[in-house]
Amino acid sequence: MSSYKDTLGALIRDRKARVGIMGMGYVGYPMAYLAASQGFTVTGVDVDPVRVQKINRGESYIQDVSSAEVKPLVEKGRLRGATDYQVAKELDVVMITVPTPLNKTGDPDMSFVVSVLESIKPHLHAGMLIALESTTYPGTTEELFVPAIQEKGFKVGEEVFVGFSPERIDPGNPTYGPKNTPKVVGGVTPACTEIATDFYRQLVDTVVPVSSTTTAEMVKLYENTFRAINIGLVNELAIICDLLKVDVWEILDAASSKPFGFMRFNPGPGLGGHCIPVDPSYLAWKMRTLAYKTRFIELATEVNTGMPIWVVNRAAALLNNERKPVNGAKILILGMSYKNDIDDLRESPALDIFNLLVRRGGIVSYHDPYCPQVRLQHGLERSSVLSPGLLKEQDLVIIVTGHKRMVDYNLVLNHAHLIFDTRNILREIAEKGKAKVVYL
């Protein structure tokens, strides 16, 4: 008689395992599409009925997955949406891809993960793999999932298999997507690691097994903490260069000529996205529970979270040089998403910059072809149409996000009076216009 591990392994390798994705957002939808495109039958579960209706119509609401790619899979029965977590009783593999934000005190908010766990708990059965992908603090998978499974009477690593594989979704990346980005996988037991590794090998080109779920959780946090700290360093360099009246971009270009021992990071108006602004705080929180202070993380967080107010202060100084106060000044923000050529507003520094300028009395508008409307502190704001007339009436244009594919920067250069370019976008434009340009 074969074991549950053997039976589940065979289903996975034959791609007959029934897969469920819990949370169909920026991570879940691409992973659901990937699994379905590799021959698995996939159910995407989400509490939002509108999302589920769109999935079942073969429509994509995620920029990196097109409806043209999804619809054939829906028509073939490879992908469907559902709102009821009881579908877990029919599944062989459950992937959890729900948000893990920070709460108001800056501590991890695990409510979405806990909610999914409690919802699928009554439907757990022998011979299933549960893989958590949501970024979290080291120890989460063992602390939350193992007791819940044992409470149901199952043996972890023999009857139910548990793994952690951190998501590495990079919205808008034209080179690396879910399939060709290596996947780190760790299991609670060696058998869990083996089953989880088998599953992910059916989806992605490269799998990197590690010794435990805690190790896999730590890998994800280190990746993004590394970036956050180095971005904090280069953001502080930008502030230093402003005080010294030297060009930070020239310094970075020259430093990048060194062929060894240097990795370039660019400054900007602040951090955005779900990962880099959030993940280091998960590690810092965990270490506080062990009476250890993560000094590098806290310093980098202080610098990075302070960049939007620094940008606003610079903007006020630029207006002051023109003998204009912020109060009553017309200010146009170019780009509201957190990085170029995407529609993702999560943690975007543009939101903070807009709100701060409004608080100072600025008459603020924005243009972003990827974000037609944005909810801000004062209410709903809609993207303005970029035109010569709009640009000419602005006292200041601030480039917060550089949508190179969708914004005519020659138009901006030719019709704006004063531009504060926080992304070094305009130096790449061949045609120089009439505007006065100040760089971060």
Q: What is the spatial distance between Cα 315 and Cα 416, in angstroms, rounded to a whole number?
A: 15
Please name the residue that has the structure tokens 């062989």.
92
The CB-side HSE value for 230 (13 A sphere, CA atoms) comes to 11
Strand 160-164 with 183-187, pairing? antiparallel
Catalytic residue, chosen from 192, 241, 275, 371, is 275
Spell 255-294 as b/e; 16+ CB within 10 A means b: eeeeeeeeeebebbbbbbbbbbbbbbbbbbbbeeeeeeeb
Q: At what angle do helices 190-201 and 4-13 cross, to 10 degrees?
A: 10
Contact (Cβ atoms closer than 8 angstroms) between residue 264 and residue 197? no
Contact (Cβ atoms closer than 8 angstroms) between residue 199 and residue 129? yes
Residue from 73, 41, 37 nearest 55 by CA: 73
* 275 is annotated as an active-site residue: yes
Q: What is the spatial distance between Cα 167 and Cα 279, in angstroms, rounded to a whole number?
A: 12
Q: What is the spatial distance between Cα 399 and Cα 420, in angstroms, rounded to a whole number?
A: 6
Residue from 110, 97, 152, 100 nearest 128 by CA: 152
User: Which residues are identified as catalytic?
Assistant: 275
